[in-house]
Amino acid sequence: GQAIEKMEVKDTYSPLVEYNGVHKWYAKTDILLKNGQKIAKGTDLTKFVNQTVDHKTRTVVYSFSSAFLNSISDNSEFQATGYMQVKQLDYGTVKNTFTEIINGVERNSNTVTVVTPDKPKTPDKPQTPPETPKTPEKPQTPPTPTPTPVVPTTPKQPVTPQVTLPSTGEVTNDGAALVGLAFAATALSMLGFKKRKEEE
């Protein structure tokens, strides 16, 4: 098969969002390496991905390192899913289409749409007549507490937190939503890639 020499994902993000540079990439399939090792499906591949961000044009390019691409067996399937974390600046619909570039051949993705509904309007407070305060009842004397012996327990191992990406529409304290825009970079076995290229 033909080797993947260059693989990039280019995205121009919406003016309704602000990109903070946080991105994650995961193996969508098992990936076989030339040295006989296997990268399991679901493995974090972010360390193999470089990004170039241009905030003026609102464009980001993610590129897999050539050392990583060169280590993949020519007979291996390679698919990766990427996420960019963005803060939604305003309510509305964000449409996102990215371009996948494999060995110089560009292909547009399907469009991912994230809808953040408008802020719900707060209803006017109904006018209620002021109530006459009631005389408080005499408080009862609480019963004397009985001490309970504390049995020491073996401390549990601390749980390592799992890294999770924001779910679509997660709202922060300032009311802005954090959304994860997903990419599915797919370079199927290069035999399949070569066939697609010839058919076009």
CA neighbours within 13 Å on the CB side: how many for 104?
Answer: 1
Highest mean pLDDT among 81-85, 131-135, 165-169, 184-188 belongs to 81-85
Contact (CB, 8 A) for 34 and 71:
yes
Q: Which of 27, 47, 40 is nearest to 184 (CA)?
A: 27
Give yes or no for residue 192 having a pLDDT over 50.
no
- CA angle, 34 then 26 then 98, to 5°: 105
Average pLDDT over residues 8-17: 89
Highest mean pLDDT among 10-24, 108-122, 169-183 belongs to 10-24
Which one is predicted more confidently, 28 or 130? 28
Give yes or no for residue 84 having a pLDDT over 80.
yes
Average pLDDT over residues 2-10: 84
Separation between Cα atoms, residue 44 and residue 70, nearest integer Å: 18
What is the predicted pLDDT for the residue at 38?
Answer: 97
**What dotted CATH number matches 7-117+165-199?**
2.60.40.740
From the number of C-beta atoms within 10 Å of its C-beta (0-12, 13-18, 19+), residue 109 rates as middle
SS3 state at 196: helix
What is the predicted pLDDT for the residue at 41?
Answer: 96
Which one is predicted more confidently, 122 or 64? 64
Give yes or no for residue 102 having a pLDDT over 90.
no
Contact (CB, 8 A) for 13 and 181:
yes
Give yes or no for residue 96 having a pLDDT over 50.
yes
What is the predicted pLDDT for the residue at 172?
Answer: 40
Average pLDDT over residues 80-105: 85
* Close Cβ partners of 168 (under 8 Å, ≥ 6 residues apart): 114, 179, 180
**pLDDT band at residue 108, thresholds of 50, 70 and 90?**
confident
Q: Which of 184, 179, 186 is nearest to 14 (CA)?
A: 179
Q: Which of 74, 78, 47, 40 is nearest to 62 (CA)?
A: 47
Give yes or no for residue 129 having a pLDDT over 60.
no
